[in-house]
Structure 1
C-alpha cells in the first residue's frame, strides 16, 4: 500500500469551520458540499486537456486527503478519471472510513477494467468502488461493466439529462445529482474536478448547493492552453458584464509553498 500521510492537528483545526460536522445540529435535506481543487497562478488545473499536472505540494496534498477523510463521497468527472486514473481514496493516518467515489459519466465513456486503480484499491480494501452517474438507461448498460462494478461493490445510477450543451452532450442538473446521492445515504460530498465539473457547479443557479470552497494555489504559471477554472460570464439587467461569483468569509492558510484559500460563495 502507498505510504500513509499525516496532517498536523493545528492545521486541521484551521479547516474545521469549513468541513461537514460529524453530528449536524439539524436534520439535513441535502449533502454538505465542498468544492475543492488545486490551481496555478493563472487559474489552470492542468497544462492541457487530458494532461496530468501535479500542482499540490506535500503539505497541501496531505490536506486534501484529510478533507477526504471528512466526507462520505468524492466526486469527479469522467474526463478526470480517464486522464489521471486517480485512486479516489483516503491515505491520511487514522482515517476511520473511505469515501465513496462518484463518477459523472453521462455518455458512459469509461469502461471499467479490473486493472483500474480505483477498482484495484477496492479489491485490496484500501478504497471503495465508484458509483457511476450516467444518462444511459438501465436496460442499455453493458452487462459486463455492470457485473464488474457490482463485484467490487460499486454500481451505475442512471439519471435523466435535464439539459444539453452546445455540442448536444448530456448534462445533469446538480440539484438532481445531490438529491440522488443524499438518497444513497451520502451526507457529504467533496467535489474535486475537473474543469467542466467545477465551472458548471459555479454557475449562479447552483451556488446555494455549495457549502464550502477550498482552493490550493500553487506558485506557478502553467501558460496559455491549460484547463482553466472560469465559469461562464454573466450580465446584469442592463447587459453590463458583472462578476460571475465572489467568495466571502475568506481565510488564507500557507501549506509549504502553496497557499490555501477557504471561503463561501457570496449570495
Structure 2
C-alpha cells in the first residue's frame, strides 16, 4: 500500500471518532530538519522537504475541512494554502491573528474560492476593511494569544469538522500545550540548520506528562523521513 493510501486510511479512521465532538479533529503537519529546525534563527524560511513530501502536504490539505496558520507565517511566507499537487478541494483558510496584522496584499486575501477567516481577540479593530476576509473576534482570557478552546468551538459551529495546523512554531506549541492536537504528520529533512525549532517549551516537568505519539508510523520518502501517528496526553498516554 502506498504511503499516500496509508495516510488517508489512517486519517479517515481517526476522524470518525470526532463525529460528536464540540471541536474539530486537529492534525499538526509540518516539515523540519534533522535537528528540529523549521526556519533560520532570523526567521527565514527554506524549502526543506522534497517533491514527494510536498505532495503529502497537499493531500493532507484535501483531507481536512480547514487549514490554520499564524499571522507570522502569513507575513513571512505569504502562502496560498491551496491544493495544487493533489486532486481535491481547497480547505477553508484560517489565520490566528491576535493583533489584526493581516496584510491586505496577502495571497490569502485573494483565495481562488474561499474568503479567508481571521480569528482575533475581542478588542481588536480592523484597519484592513478592503481585504476579502471574514473576521471573528474571540473573548480574551488575559493572554496575548487567541484562546484556542473558544476558537476551536467556533470553528466546529462553522462546520469545520477537521483542521490541519501547519504552523508556525508558536501555533504548533500552543496547540500541544493545550492538548488540542489529535494527530501529527511530520516530515524530517536530512539537513542540519541550527535554527528556530518547530516545538517550543511545553512547560512540562515530568516525562510522563509529555505528548506521546502512539502508534507511530514511519516511511522513507525519497530523501525525507515521514513520521505520523496519534497524539496522547498525560493520563491518556498509552
TM-score (norm 2): 0.88
Does the 8 Å CA contact 1:163/1:173 hold for their aligned counterparts? Answer: no
Does the 8 Å CA contact 1:73/1:100 hold for their aligned counterparts? Answer: yes
- In the alignment, structure 1 segments of 5+ residues that lack a partner are 1-8, 165-169
2:205 to 235, 252, 267: 235
Q: Aligned pair 1:193/2:167, yes or no?
A: yes
Q: Aligned pair 1:11/2:9, yes or no?
A: no
Q: In structure 2, what is the Cα distance between the partners aligned to 1:130 and 1:21?
A: 28
Does the 8 Å CA contact 1:50/1:80 hold for their aligned counterparts? Answer: no
For 2:139, the equivalent position in structure 1 comes to: 160
Does the 8 Å CA contact 2:121/2:138 hold for their aligned counterparts? Answer: yes
Q: Deviations over 1:149-180 (max 9, x none)?
A: 2xxxx30001122132xxxxx11222111101
Q: In structure 1, what is the Cα distance between the partners aligned to 2:148 and 2:74?
A: 19
Q: In structure 2, what is the Cα distance between the partners aligned to 1:184 and 1:147?
A: 23
Q: In structure 2, what is the Cα distance between the partners aligned to 1:242 and 1:12?
A: 32
For 2:149, the equivalent position in structure 1 comes to: 175
Does the 8 Å CA contact 2:58/2:85 hold for their aligned counterparts? Answer: yes
Instruction: State the aligned residue count.
Output: 232
Does the 8 Å CA contact 1:250/1:261 hold for their aligned counterparts? Answer: yes
Quote the offset at 1:136 in angstroms: 4.7
**Within 5 A, what are the aligned runs for 1:46-65?**
46-65=39-58
Q: In structure 1, what is the Cα distance between the partners aligned to 2:10 and 2:141?
A: 31
Q: Aligned pair 1:141/2:131, yes or no?
A: no
RMSD: 2.3
Does the 8 Å CA contact 2:68/2:94 hold for their aligned counterparts? Answer: yes
Q: Deviations over 1:162-210 (max 9, x none)?
A: 132xxxxx1122211110111111111000000100111111xx22x32
Does the 8 Å CA contact 1:56/1:218 hold for their aligned counterparts? Answer: yes
1:242–1:84 distance in 2 versus 1, CA, 3 Å:
same
Larger radius of gyration: 1
Does the 8 Å CA contact 2:168/2:198 hold for their aligned counterparts? Answer: no
Does the 8 Å CA contact 1:214/1:263 hold for their aligned counterparts? Answer: yes
TM-score (norm 1): 0.79
Quote the offset at 1:48 in angstroms: 2.4
- In the alignment, structure 2 segments of 5+ residues that lack a partner are none
Quote the offset at 1:220 in angstroms: 0.7
**Within 5 A, what are the aligned runs for 1:23-172?**
24=16, 26-95=19-88, 97-113=89-105, 116-120=106-110, 122=111, 125=112, 127-137=113-123, 140-142=125-127, 145-149=128-132, 154-164=133-143, 170-172=144-146
Q: In structure 1, what is the Cα distance between the partners aligned to 2:13 and 2:183?
A: 12
